[in-house]
Structure 1
Amino acid sequence: MAVLVALGAFAMTLFGGWMAQRVTDRRHLVLGLAGGLMLGVVGLELLPEALEAAGQEVFGVPQALLLFVGGFLVAHLVERLLAVRQAAHGAHGPGERAPQVGLTAAAAMVGHSLMDGVALGAAFQVGGGMGATVALAVITHDFADGFNTYTIASLYGNTRKKAVAMLVAAAFAPVVGAASTLFFTMPQEFLGSYLGFFGGALLYLAAAEILPEAHHDHPARSTLLCTVGGVAFIWLVVGLAE
């Protein structure tokens, strides 16, 4: 059952990526929406789930929050190292982004989609009711995953072919993840730790890259409204899933 439901996530991911491609003439609105979706996913979905699954404290701080901060710092470090490397080789001018950063971030989105599938399979292991609740959240928010995967890869100067390849990988990932749960059971603490780390990395991309770029050339009210709308959409998804 979980694999069949994951096919819905597959279709929704591709639809999200298709939408991101169709509105290239409104790039600032796309980026504003993507930033809002990413912020909503982190603050309203990933962190609460991470704290619930891996909330035990390490030296006075919940383990999930430590990994959240670690994910933010690792994302920052990877971007800086790649930027320095590109500058040393003279591959890009000042202010230009290294395409590897976009591919790395998109690959992280693929990994997240894989874990979505694992979480979906694990929920159906618990019971049909739990599976249905998680299925609603996964299928709906995979629209945001597809949208963000394509947008992030494209933002850093990668070709459309590479961005589409990452999108397709993200679409297949939940199906593979759900199928894998037929052979093993995911420890809850590990899942919570992963969600915390990934949430930190995703927040860095949203706050340090996506949103500043959205407002760089078009500091319009409509861009801000798209960001707020993205957060509100994830809030609606989380609320409906409860």
Structure 2
Amino acid sequence: MTDYGNIDVEQFFTGDPIEDWLDLKRREDISTGTVDSLVQKLQTNSDGTAFQQFLSNRDVGVLDATVMDLYDYRDFIREVNSKREMKNKLSEVSTFYNDMRRLKQTDSNPAAFVLSRTDTRVKLPNREYHTVEAMGDFLAFIPHPQMQTMCLCYLKYGLRRGAVVNIDLCCVNIDDPRYRPILMNAISNFIGRYAAVRIPYIFTETSAQMMWLMVRNVATETSATTMSYFRSTTR
């Protein structure tokens, strides 16, 4: 008896729990090959752990295993994993060439065919250009020393980082006009906060552009991470 009353588990598991689980998988919409693979893995580990099975094939008990047995087991696992990885790669290559045969591209270079259908044109975003002198004037307008130091750090780091990162996706391009209202709202809040404590702040079109540049360059770092992940997953 528990806080939930009498729990009858026999209606779910009447025999061997593993067999009951496999029967449940067979009734689900799962391919026969997947179920057979599950059965094979369960049978492989039915007599104990994989390490115990490895030692039992050598007629060596767990307590009698030596360091060399551990090294051999490590090499065995590496070999199994490498074969599995190679099998996955070969499956991908096989699928690729099957698609090429379907497109009747067996007599040419399949990779060249794919590249010929790929748009490789580079579309540079429309960026505003500011000189170092203009950036310096903008920083001079900021009276608070900590804010000035932070903006200087963001400008320098963002410019250097942005020089080696190409941001062409609309979703990560901070120059997109849709981000403009967000920036202007942030600038208004910034000015209002400093006006409340009687700190003078000169707000001009140049300072607005500089604030835009600063925000954009800070976003470059986040965009760089996004682009690196995007490129690594679409190769």
TM-score range, shorter chain: under 0.3
Q: Normalising by structure 2, what TM-score?
A: 0.23
Higher relative contact order, structure no. (Cα contacts within 8 Å, ≥ 6 residues apart):
1
> Which protein has the bigger helix share?
1
Q: Normalising by structure 1, what TM-score?
A: 0.23
